[in-house]
Amino acid sequence: MLTLTLETERLLLRPVEERDLDVAIEMFTDPDVMQFLGGETMSIAEVREEMPTYTKRCAVGAIGIWCIEDRSSQEKLGSVFLLPLPIEKDDTDWDLVVGDQLPNAEIEIGYSLRKSVWGKGVATEAGKRLLQFAFDETALEEIVAVIDEGNLASQRVLEKIGLVSVGQRYAYDAECPGFAITRPQWLERNRSKSHV
């Protein structure tokens, strides 16, 4: 049985639910949060309409979105996800998030946080935990990520959790900087860390 509730020193990661509409609205209506997430803010009505989709999961729950909570205050801080990477489309293909098997697609890691909690290492802590989940608990052999050109905070998070630049690639129907980490790279990184 896959445990989908994940803990770190400061954070709790749990599958996102419709009751997380509040934090979703705060993030997706904020132009600063959306600057590198397609650029356009969403309306409250649009976020509300998308919530049932955001709670979709597949592969026995391994693929989907997690809500990030502060363990001590239970405050919702944002979200982190493992989802099929869209290539020709400019948004996640939720039709692939279905069934018990891993989707036949590259799996991307991504995150977004309420602006008030930026700069405290939350994305790094959550991202690292989700990678550990992916490589310890699922059969995934590689996790990828892409960023908008200029999203230096996101690039830095990816580097800190161990993803490596693969140069420009095509995703979200555009050329963009790509990153990836393979299972052997993850194991090597953790093996060498445990000997430091």
Ligand X SMILES: CC(C)(COP(=O)(O)OP(=O)(O)OC[C@H]1O[C@@H](n2cnc3c(N)ncnc32)[C@H](O)[C@@H]1OP(=O)(O)O)[C@@H](O)C(=O)NCCC(=O)NCCS
Residue 100 CB, shortest distance to ligand X, in Å, is 28
Contacts to ligand X from residues 72-131, by CB under 6 A: 110-113, 118-124
Q: Of the two residues 60 and 142, which places its CB atom closer to ligand X in the complex?
A: 142
Structure tokens at 101: 């098997």
Of the residues 12, 97, 157, 180, which one makes contact with ligand X according to CB under 6 A: 157
Q: Residues 6 or more apart from 85 whose CB is under 8 A from it?
A: 105, 106, 107, 108, 144, 146, 171
Question: How many residues belong to the site for ligand X (CB under 6 A)?
Answer: 21
**CB of 142 within 8 A of CB of 106?**
yes
Distance CA 186, CA 163 (A): 9
Of the residues 153, 182, 185, 190, which one makes contact with ligand X according to CB under 6 A: 153
Count CA within 13 A, CB hemisphere, residue 144.
19
Residue 40 CB, shortest distance to ligand X, in Å, is 13
Distance CA 73, CA 68 (A): 12
DSSP line for 161-175: HT-EEEEEEEETTEE
Q: 3-class DSSP state for residue 155? A: helix
Q: Of the two residues 40 and 100, which places its CB atom closer to ligand X in the complex?
A: 40
Distance CA 16, CA 66 (A): 5
Of the residues 20, 154, 178, 186, which one makes contact with ligand X according to CB under 6 A: 154
Any contact of residue 47 with ligand X (CB under 6 A)?
no
Of the residues 4, 21, 37, 60, which one makes contact with ligand X according to CB under 6 A: 37
CB atoms within 10 A of CB 76: 22
**CB of 101 within 8 A of CB of 109?**
no
Any contact of residue 151 with ligand X (CB under 6 A)?
yes
Q: Of the two residues 38 and 184, which places its CB atom closer to ligand X in the complex?
A: 38
Distance CA 80, CA 148 (A): 17
Q: Of the two residues 36 and 94, which places its CB atom closer to ligand X in the complex?
A: 36
Q: Of the two residues 139 and 152, which places its CB atom closer to ligand X in the complex?
A: 152
Residue 112 CB, shortest distance to ligand X, in Å, is 4
Q: Of the two residues 121 and 184, which places its CB atom closer to ligand X in the complex?
A: 121
Where does this chain bind ligand X (CB under 6 A)?
33, 36-37, 110-113, 118-124, 147, 151-154, 156-157
